[in-house]
Amino acid sequence: MAPPLLLLQDIHLHLGTTPLLTGATLSVGPGERLALVGRNGSGKSTLLKVAAGVLQPEAGTRFLQPGATLRSLPQEPDFGGARTVWEHVEAGLGPGDDPYRARWLLEQLGLTGEEAPGRLSGGEARRAALARALAPAPDILLLDEPTNHLDLPAIAWLEAELASMRGALVLISHDRRFLETLSRAMVWLDRGTTRRLEKGFAGFEAWRDQVLEEEEREAHKLDRKIVREEHWMRYGVTARRKRNMRRVGELAALRQRRRDALKATGTVRMAASEGEGSGTLVAQAEAVTKGYDGAAPVVRDFSTRILRRDRVGIVGPNGAGKTTLLKLLTGELQPDSGTVRLGTGLQMVTLDQSRDSLDPALSLAEALTGGSGDQVEVGGQRRHVVGYMKDFLFVPDQARTAVGVLSGGERGRLMLARALARPSNLLVLDEPTNDLDLETLDLLEELLAEYAGTVLVVSHDRDFLDRVCTSVIVSEGDGRWQEYAGGYTDMLAQRGRGVEAKPAAAPERAAAKPAAAPAPAPAAKRKLTFKQQHALQTLPGRMEALQAEIAQLRTVLAAPGLYTRDRARFERFTAALTEKEAALAAAEEEWLELEMLREEIEAG
């Protein structure tokens, strides 16, 4: 076995007077794919900073093999004094690194390099930081929540890029699908120490639950006194997941109802049935179109009907018009043409993901009660605020904690608690999974399963969409939207491909349309771009790799009795096969178009 490239041993660190790391260990060998998981506030980012060498532990040792290169992506990118994105990326290159790869990465991530760091959106800043971390092709790459602020096409691209890299990878992420695709071993940080599992994320949650169950039995055998609230927070996760198994059947029933409704109504013209019960219809859109300032519509001729208890996901690349569509369906925006009919008696609650409405000076209890006593009304019933807090994994001691000192994940839980405490029958969630750990995601999925109303959700989390949604509305480009019954994986199977990036060349075409330019302009177009040249060179290898992966998946699925023995494995491999086949078809189509373009240019 090769010696580790990076080794952390017996790491100790305090956060104020509270011990955060109490003997954590991390070993990274050549080419390993490790996922670092743990609850919000457990110290994952801190341990990654120790691994990167930017934070010194109070005790313990850090060893990095001489000559090994290491790059890291922090949660909050620091651009220092860089005047442009290219200057920031270039500063991360070493003497032997290829600047052309850095340029290519920026292009793949939708950036030119000329952007000013101070004017970047959250997603653009994340892309620039990714280009800086990936460009040197390091021996060890440390990534802290790399998918935050990225849309689905960017996440799919990043998955493929990381899967093809030769170096070792250590990543922190709340995106289950991302972890399943990339991880080959798990490091679980829990109560200051680490445990390691030599399997990918697909086997992690069952293993973790087993460890906790054994630990709970041992605690009872030794007659230890376990703090009640901590016991509930830690071991209740397992119990909730077991209860959630029955909800899989309930979600399947809701999806079948949605599938039948889509078949019955079609997608062109719909009319409410006579005598429909009050409140059954939530929203009905007919041939809705919406654009801005004379530009091409972002929603074009879209129709749908949403009924009570539906859970509808809206997905698409950044800039496709997801927020516009959401506002049209909730009546916040009026369409340019077509009609939107809202149901009767709607009580809508929107989850404000910016969290600007949280006053940092308020205590957690005051934020939930509005400062009026110690009771909160939930579902028409009065509950003590401490009991309600426990539903969202807070302990009683946190009741007087100021909102301003809560972590990002804790603020996310608080926003959920506030939103679900308000009376509603329509819940609108915009990127609800940001900053939430895996346990809180379990909690959110459980709450949404029990929610008696309707849910509209915008999300880039594929696993969350699979676990929650009865249908998914997808951007098809050019303002067209299409609804598919089921979750994200069901949509992939029906559509045959994932979510594509929004074309970045639209402004250039609009600018080139006026005929004021003289003759030289067309000559400049008769040349392959660097991106196209690179694609022509790399696509054949990519297609060959996909064909090999598809053949391997088909071999596994052809095993006699696999469906009967291990249905979950069969479904997982079937979904992976669908995704790989779609990726191969897209790569073949892109290669063919580029080859035709190259031949046309050479002939001209």
Q: Is 322 annotated as a binding residue?
A: yes
Q: Is 425 annotated as a binding residue?
A: no
Q: Is 316 annotated as a binding residue?
A: yes
Contact (Cβ atoms closer than 8 angstroms) between residue 347 and residue 282: no
- Give Rg (Cα) of the chain: 26
In this structure, what token pair is assigned to residue 355?
A: 């969290």
> What whole-number distance in Å separates Cα of residue 536 and Cα of residue 548?
20
Q: Is 41 annotated as a binding residue?
A: yes
Q: Is 39 annotated as a binding residue?
A: yes
Parallel, antiparallel, or unpaired for β 18-28 and 6-15? Answer: antiparallel
> What whole-number distance in Å separates Cα of residue 38 and Cα of residue 179?
13
Q: Is 40 annotated as a binding residue?
A: yes
Residues in a beta bridge with 455: 311, 427
If you search the block for the tokens 């909690």, which residue do you land on? 443
> What whole-number distance in Å separates Cα of residue 344 and Cα of residue 265?
21
How many CA atoms lie less than 13 Å away from 404 in the CB half-sphere?
A: 4
In this structure, what token pair is assigned to residue 380?
A: 């028409």
Beginning with the edge strand found earlier in the chain, give each strand of the sheet holding 337-342 in spatial order: 299-307, 281-290, 337-342
Contact (Cβ atoms closer than 8 angstroms) between residue 168 and residue 28: yes
If you search the block for the tokens 């709970």, which residue do you land on? 216
Q: Is 44 annotated as a binding residue?
A: yes
Q: Is 320 annotated as a binding residue?
A: yes
Residues in a beta bridge with 340: 285
How big is the CA angle at 373 (ends 367 and 377), to the nearest 5 degrees? 70
Q: Is 560 annotated as a binding residue?
A: no
Angle at which helices 488-495 and 567-603 pack, to 10 degrees? Answer: 50
Q: Which amino acid is at 586?
A: A
Q: Is 80 annotated as a binding residue?
A: no
> What whole-number distance in Å separates Cα of residue 181 and Cα of residue 163?
8
Q: Is 67 annotated as a binding residue?
A: no
Tell which residue, 439, 437, 419, has the closest CA to residue 428. Answer: 419
Q: Is 45 annotated as a binding residue?
A: yes
> What whole-number distance in Å separates Cα of residue 325 and Cα of residue 330?
9
Per-residue b or e along 114-144, where b marks 16 or more CB atoms closer than 10 Å to that residue's CB: ebebeebeebbbbbbbbbbbbbbebbbbbbb
Binding-site residue numbers are 38-45, 316-323
Binding-site residue numbers for ATP are 38-45, 316-323
